[in-house]
Structure 1
């Protein structure tokens, strides 16, 4: 319900009650705004709704808005820091697992699984630059 006891508008809306760490008391989404046919203006912190006796104007409070924005910013920052710490812990754990692996691939003593074809030919990519070429296998399927 929006308005005062002499001029108000009441509409039933479905909502869910959640317990977020948020400084806001209520968050109205598009379905609620559409149900009330509300027109919000975020710069002026106003919302206008049609009522039985004319337009109902709901005015916001700039001081509360700044307080909520600051609290929300602190909450977001703490959540981001917690997530980054979790990711950093995972990276450290992965690094500790790989510490017994040699750092130089030549020290591993094994060759990679890629082996070039036995018969290859060089194909020039640009006739004016012979150093630019591609190596292709000679027994490739036409498909």
Structure 2
């Protein structure tokens, strides 16, 4: 076997079902001067006796694509169910909304610090004010 190409590269081994024998990133493609063509499942690179063509299997591609599609769909369904359960739980914790929001007294759970002062925003509406810390730095 005299028509091959050898280059040292770092890689990780992962256990996944894929139509590809190897998943190479840009550094590996550049090192091999490889040109991939994903539609034809082929890759070409220069070798000592001309162009080396690497081909893959379409049947395996279709099997893996179908399996990964089913897996992705099941993961999306599970995630959507978690979000729906969360929304139902949050809705059950909230008190029911009144028909007219103005009927509800405006109370917040926020409690200001002790060293604060009220600054009136408009003298015509004394109920509109801002709360600021009274011991803030000049900066």
TM range (shorter): 0.5 to 0.7
| Counterparts in 2 of 1:12 and 1:40: CA distance versus 1, 3 Å | same
- Equivalents in 1 of 2:31, 2:25: separation in Å? 10
Partner of 2:98: 103
Which residue of 1 is the match for residue 24 of structure 2? 28
Indicate the RMSD between aligned Cα atoms, in angstroms: 2.6
- The CA distance in 1 between the partners of 2:35 and 2:98, in whole Å, is 62
User: Is 1:91 matched with 2:87?
Assistant: yes
**How far 1:39 sits from its partner (Å)?**
0.3
The alpha carbon displacement at 1:48 in A equals: 0.2
TM-superposition CA deviations, 1:104-140 (whole Å, max 9, x none)? 32443x0479xx83449xxxxxxxxxxxxxxxxxxxx
Q: State yes or no: 1:117 paired with 2:122.
A: yes
Residue segments in structure 2 that go unaligned for 5+ positions in a row: 109-120, 126-139
Normalising by the residue count of structure 1, what TM-score does the alignment of the two structures yield?
Answer: 0.64
The question of 1:53 aligning with 2:58 is answered no
Q: For 1:91 and 1:18, how far apart are their aligned partners in 2? A: 36
Query: For this pair of structures, how many residues does the alignment match?
Result: 111
CA pair 68-106 structure 1, distance change in 2 beyond 3 A: same
Relative to structure 1, the CA distance from residue 34 to residue 69 in structure 2 (aligned partners, 3 Å threshold; closer, same or farther) is same
Q: Which residue of 2 aligns with 1:132?
A: none
